Amino acid sequence: MTRPRSTPAKGKGKAGARRPAAPAPAAPRRGPSSSDLIGVVVLLLTASLAACAGGGWGGRRPAPTGTEAPKGELTLRFLDVGQGDAVLVRSPEGKTLLVDGGRSGERMRTLMDQYAVTKVDLMVASHADADHIAGLVPAAQAKPTVFVNNGLAGTTQTWDRLVTALEKAGTTFQKANAQVFTLGSMKVRIFGPPRGMNDDQNNNSVGVRVEFGKFTALLTGDSEREETTAWLAQGRPEARGPVQIYKSIHHGARNGDHAAWLAAVRPENVVISVGENSYGHPTPEVLDLYRQNGIRVYRTDEQGTVTVTAQGDGTYHVTTDH
């Protein structure tokens, strides 16, 4: 089996003796004129209108003074692939990021055609489990420029087929190692598993932070409490919120999201990528956790593909298939 190779990411003078003139008598004090009062009212109304400006579910996060927000619209789709993960992101310039591909190659082919994906600029496998990589095999036909994974080769034929397909496509392999990819006006920040994790694929999931001006989304595969706790101990800036859109860890499993992690990430919305399963995903405990933190929840098993359209000023809108 071919194991993906790892590459580096890439003072004034004195006045005369003249005695100063006596000050003029002070003008008598008076109350504010009607024009003064009108000016105050206009100022207050202007401030109120500015505070109310915004849109989308998450409102507005204005860019700092002197920073121009990127133009156009970013589209982020949590694809309905059943029990699995697949997230497709496209920049205003048409640059494409694909994170995971679900467990069905046939389903991914259909979705690639539906959304007219003919080129993938960056492909990321959060880890090598089949419900995340099987759909990446046909997606390799879009000739990904770069493929990033956790550096742990899978042990299945599905993994072998993926590696073969990517090699045939001429894709460059990189191990997750704090890379920053610029895809048009979108930045993709990769953070790898903390040191000291065992060889378990879930706890070696790759983190992906998508930034488009003031809009941010965070995806962390199937990382469990051990990995996210280690990221918190490291003070990873990529995991620092708030973020507008967040993918539920491990399809809403009990060993995924926890209070300390969510307190750091501070998501406004969470998308649970899930299908029919025998694991009880998403668990009632996790759904309660989201509810207690005031996080708006979307589910692909109930609402189909969840689409987020975002502007660089931080405004965004969420739609679902049903």
Going from N- to C-terminal start, the domains of the chain cover: 73-320
Q: What is the mean pLDDT of residues 223-238?
A: 97
| Residue 137, amino acid | V
Calpha distance 251→172 (Å, rounded): 29
- For residue 3, pLDDT beyond 80: no
Is residue 314 packed enough to be buried (19+ CB in 10 Å), middle (13-18) or exposed (0-12)?
A: buried
Calpha distance 112→139 (Å, rounded): 7
What Å distances lie between residue 102 and 48, 79, 308, CA to CA? 46, 9, 19
Give the homologous superfamily in CATH for domain 73-320: Ribonuclease Z/Hydroxyacylglutathione hydrolase-like (3.60.15.10)
Calpha distance 99→136 (Å, rounded): 9
Half-sphere exposure of 210 toward its Cβ, with a 13 Å CA cutoff? 33
Alpha helices in 80-197 (DSSP H): 105-114, 130-133, 136-139, 157-168
Omega prior to 28 cis, within 30 of 0: no
Residue 293 tokens read as 């933190």
pLDDT at 60: 43
pLDDT at 68: 86
- For residue 35, pLDDT beyond 90: no
Calpha distance 297→264 (Å, rounded): 18
CA proximity to 122, closest of 233, 231, 209: 209
106: left (phi over 0), alpha (psi -120 to 50) or beta: alpha
Rounded to the nearest integer, the mean pLDDT of the chain is 85
pLDDT, tens digit, 9 for 90 and up, residues 253-292: 999 999 999 999 999 999 999 999 999 999 999 999 999 9
CA proximity to 189, closest of 119, 132, 237, 139: 237
pLDDT, tens digit, 9 for 90 and up, residues 69-85: 999 999 999 999 999 99
Count of all residues that appear for the chain in the document: 322
Calpha distance 11→62 (Å, rounded): 42
Q: What is the mean pLDDT of residues 145-165?
A: 96
Q: What one-character-per-residue DSSP string does 13-29 give? A: PPP-SPPPPPPPPPPPP
pLDDT, tens digit, 9 for 90 and up, residues 250-263: 999 999 999 999 99
Identify the band that residue 92 occupies on the pLDDT scale cut at 50, 70 and 90: very high
pLDDT at 259: 97
Which residues neighbour 32 within 8 Å (Cβ) at sequence distance 6 or greater? none
Calpha distance 34→38 (Å, rounded): 6
